[in-house]
């Protein structure tokens, strides 16, 4: 099943304690698309400037990502972000943001993109998310991401957008901020009352949790000795999760499928942080993904062990 994603395409300059990169390919839609493309046909809707060249296009086209709706503003510049991480890689310090052509982004979807069976609304203005969802009314599965800025500035509009999707993916701080509930179980239940049947809570190095009508599932992050750059990890996670579900959008999303999707999302995210930007995921292979998925299974599987009788 085809999957349309609408979001940012960017250049990132990143510094961590383990190195730095200047103007590497990034943006939510890019990280998402690369991950999702392992499972389904991806159609990317975004905007770039004239500085977005053949090398950047090749990263996407090599993964057979459809970029017919990647708008180019020849005399403009692509969205740019500069950030720095200290040894706490859970949070980035933003040093510079230039929205450039992204400031006036008005998603233009071709008939092909509108016809996709699945839809992911990356972190963009809630009003735009609602507008795109209305254009893709036939999508049988739709998911949404957001951030603290929109929760603070346009909460009511964001809640209206949330009502239109089947799943929402936020980090734990955003879920609490959105609902005003400190407890994630109650917070997720409240969000599901607005409409989505699935709430995915991203928890960085501590893993991710899935709240659904049928239950709860939590998964730790994959243990890594070397983490170089967490930029885009959440979007890569979303790509793995939604991409896997999009491949099964025509059938019932059973608890088994949902749990597998969470593992695939976490698996893709674990590769993303091993190098800078899109470097690792761009050359990732599906056998590598399957090998790490199996490692997740071994890591989280256990058997019941009978307790010996108490002495005396």
Q: What is the pLDDT of residue 2?
A: 95
Q: Token digits for 149? A: 């800025």
Look up residue 138 and give its DSSP letter.
T
Residue 310 lies in a domain: no
In a domain, 308, yes or no: no
Residue 307 lies in a domain: no
CATH classification at residue 269: 3.40.1190.20
Contacting residues for 32 by C-beta, under 8 A, at least 6 apart: 5, 7, 120, 122, 235, 236, 238, 239, 242
How would residue 88 be classed by pLDDT, with cut points 50, 70 and 90?
Answer: confident
Q: What is the mean pLDDT of residues 23-37?
A: 98
The reported pTM is: 0.95
Confirm whether 184 is domain-assigned.
yes
Helix axes 28-36, 54-61, angle to 10 degrees: 30
Whether residue 312 lies inside any domain: the answer is: no
| CB-based contact 233:269 (threshold 8 Å) | yes
Q: What is the 8-class DSSP label of residue 43?
A: E
Is a pLDDT exceeding 80 seen at residue 249? no
Q: Is residue 154 predicted with pLDDT exceeding 80?
A: yes
How sure is the predictor about 311, in pLDDT bands with cuts at 50, 70 and 90? Answer: low
Q: Quick: pLDDT tens for 114-138.
A: 999 999 999 999 999 999 999 999 8
What's the rounded mean pLDDT across residues 231-236?
Answer: 96
Helices marked H in the chain? 28-36, 54-61, 111-114, 126-135, 148-153, 155-162, 172-179, 184-194, 233-246, 255-272, 279-282, 286-300
pLDDT in tens, 62-73: 999 999 999 999
Stretch 224-235: mean pLDDT? 93
> pLDDT-based confidence at 1, cuts 50/70/90?
confident
What is the layout of strands, in order, in the sheet containing 208-212? 66-73, 42-49, 3-6, 118-121, 141-145, 167-171, 198-202, 208-212, 215-219
- Per-residue confidence (pLDDT) for residue 165, from 0 to 100: 97
**How many domains does the chain fold into?**
1
- How much of the chain, in percent, has pLDDT values that exceed 90? 87
280 inside domain = yes
Nearest one of 97, 36, 68, 5 to 272, comparing CA atoms: 36
The whole-number pLDDT of residue 290 equals 97
How many Cβ atoms sit within 10 Å of the Cβ of residue 140? 15
Question: Higher-confidence residue: 221 or 308?
Answer: 221
Per-residue confidence (pLDDT) for residue 221, from 0 to 100: 92
pLDDT at site 29? 98
Section 252-257 average pLDDT: 89
pLDDT in the model for residue 211: 96
CA angle 45, 34, 297 (to 5 degrees): 135
Residue 161 belongs to what domain range?
3-300
Confirm whether 306 is domain-assigned.
no
Most confident of 171-175, 202-206, 307-311: 171-175
Q: Is residue 132 included in any domain, yes or no?
A: yes
Q: How confident is the model at residue 204 (pLDDT cuts 50, 70, 90)?
A: confident
Mean pLDDT of the chain: 94
């Amino acid at each position: 099943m085809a999957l349309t994603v609408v979001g940012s395409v960017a250049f990132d300059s990143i510094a961590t304690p383990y190195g730095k990169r200047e103007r590497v390919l990034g943006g939510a839609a890019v990280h998402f698309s690369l991950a999702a493309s392992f499972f389904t046909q991806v159609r990317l809707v975004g905007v770039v400037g004239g500085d977005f060249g053949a090398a950047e296009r090749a990263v996407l086209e090599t993964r057979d990502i459809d970029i017919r709706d990647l708008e180019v503003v020849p005399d403009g510049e692509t969205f740019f972000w500069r950030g720095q991480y200290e040894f706490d890689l859970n949070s980035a310090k933003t040093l510079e943001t230039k929205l450039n052509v992204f400031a006036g982004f008005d998603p233009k979807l071709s008939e092909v993109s509108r016809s996709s069976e699945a839809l992911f609304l990356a972190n963009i203005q809630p009003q735009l998310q609602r507008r795109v969802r209305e254009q893709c009314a036939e999508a049988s599965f739709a998911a949404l991401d957001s951030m603290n800025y929109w929760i603070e500035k346009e909460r009511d509009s964001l809640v209206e957008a949330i009502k239109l999707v089947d799943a929402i993916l936020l980090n734990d701080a955003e879920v609490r901020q959105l609902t005003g509930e400190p407890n994630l179980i109650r917070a997720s239940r409240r969000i599901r009352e607005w409409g989505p049947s699935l709430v995915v809570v991203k928890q960085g190095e501590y893993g991710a949790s899935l709240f659904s009508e049928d239950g709860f599932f939590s998964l730790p992050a994959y243990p890594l000795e070397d983490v170089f750059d967490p930029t885009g990890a959440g979007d890569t996670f979303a790509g793995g999760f939604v991409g896997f579900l999009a491949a099964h959008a025509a059938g019932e999303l059973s608890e088994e499928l949902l749990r597998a999707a969470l593992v695939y999302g976490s698996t893709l995210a674990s590769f993303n942080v091993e190098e800078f930007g899109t470097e690792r995921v761009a050359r990732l292979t599906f056998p590598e993904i399957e090998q790490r998925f199996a490692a997740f299974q071994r890591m989280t599987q256990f058997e019941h062990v009978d307790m010996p009788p108490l002495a005396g």
